[in-house]
């Protein structure tokens, strides 16, 4: 298929840097040009799925909100279920919650208590690894449910923020590192 040739360099060229969004000092990585290009979008999903094949994974967990786009497509590709980790207050059923510190204040994410079965083989997917607080909170939620995390994959990693150091207990893979 035509997306078989998508390279990390091509994805990197398509990602748009928006300085000072949403506030001064942030270099926002805009992934919408990747999503809008059929070939790049399909290629990014192939690369995020990595070595895994249908049958290898039970659940792909995605993080609110851009993570959902990639994780849902990876789940479909791997014939796995999709599970959302959402911002607090959005999930309707019983939840577990996990809070983590931001530069100013804190954030809380949640998962349905029955979303991942004990022992399920899980891939955790998000668009971008920055400080790692969000992904680490998602890891805690999956751990609480007894899911077995095979790998955590990101489209983009901002290496200077050392997010990997918060995810030491699992393999971390990112397609593009800045």
In the residue annotation, 66 being an active-site residue is answered as yes
Return the H-helix or E-strand segment holding 177: strand 172-177
Interface with ligand AMP includes 133 (CB under 6 A)? yes
Q: Answer for the pair 154, 134: CB distance below 8 angstroms, yes or no.
A: no
Q: Which is nearer to ligand AMP, 28 or 113 (CB)?
A: 28
Interface with ligand AMP includes 26 (CB under 6 A)? yes
Q: How far apart are CA 121 and CA 123, in angstroms?
A: 7
Q: How far apart are CA 135 and CA 129, in angstroms?
A: 8
In the residue annotation, 103 being an active-site residue is answered as yes
Interface with ligand AMP includes 131 (CB under 6 A)? yes
Tokens of 132: 């790692």
Task: Name the β-bridge partners of 126.
Answer: 154
Interface with ligand AMP includes 130 (CB under 6 A)? yes
- Of 2, 25, 11, the closest CA to residue 104 belongs to 25
From the list 66, 98, 121, 157, the catalytic residue is 66
Instruction: Please tell me what DSSP assigns to residue 114.
Output: T
- Give the range of 20-28, 42-50, 84-92, 143-151 binding ligand AMP by CB under 6 A: 20-28
Interface with ligand AMP includes 27 (CB under 6 A)? yes
Name the site residues for ligand AMP (rule: CB under 6 A). 26-29, 63, 66-67, 126-135, 163
Q: Which residues are catalytic?
A: 66, 103
């Amino acid at each position: 298929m035509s997306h078989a040739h998508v390279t990390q360099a091509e994805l990197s060229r398509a990602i748009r840097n928006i300085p000072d969004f949403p506030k001064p000092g942030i270099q926002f990585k805009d992934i919408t040009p990747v999503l809008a290009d059929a070939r790049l979008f399909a290629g990014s999903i192939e690369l995020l799925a990595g070595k895994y094949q249908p049958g290898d994974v039970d659940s792909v967990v995605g993080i609110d909100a851009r993570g959902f786009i990639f994780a849902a497509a990876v789940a479909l590709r791997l014939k796995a279920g999709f599970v959302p980790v959402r911002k607090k207050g959005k999930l309707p059923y019983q939840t577990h919650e996990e809070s983590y510190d931001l530069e100013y204040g804190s954030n809380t994410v949640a998962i349905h208590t029955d979303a991942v079965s004990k022992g399920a083989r899980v891939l955790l997917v998000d668009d971008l690894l920055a400080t790692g607080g969000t992904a680490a909170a998602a890891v805690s939620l999956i751990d609480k449910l007894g899911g077995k995390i095979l790998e955590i994959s990101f489209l983009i990693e901002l290496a200077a923020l050392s997010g990997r150091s918060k995810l030491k207990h699992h393999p971390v893979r990112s397609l593009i590192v800045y």
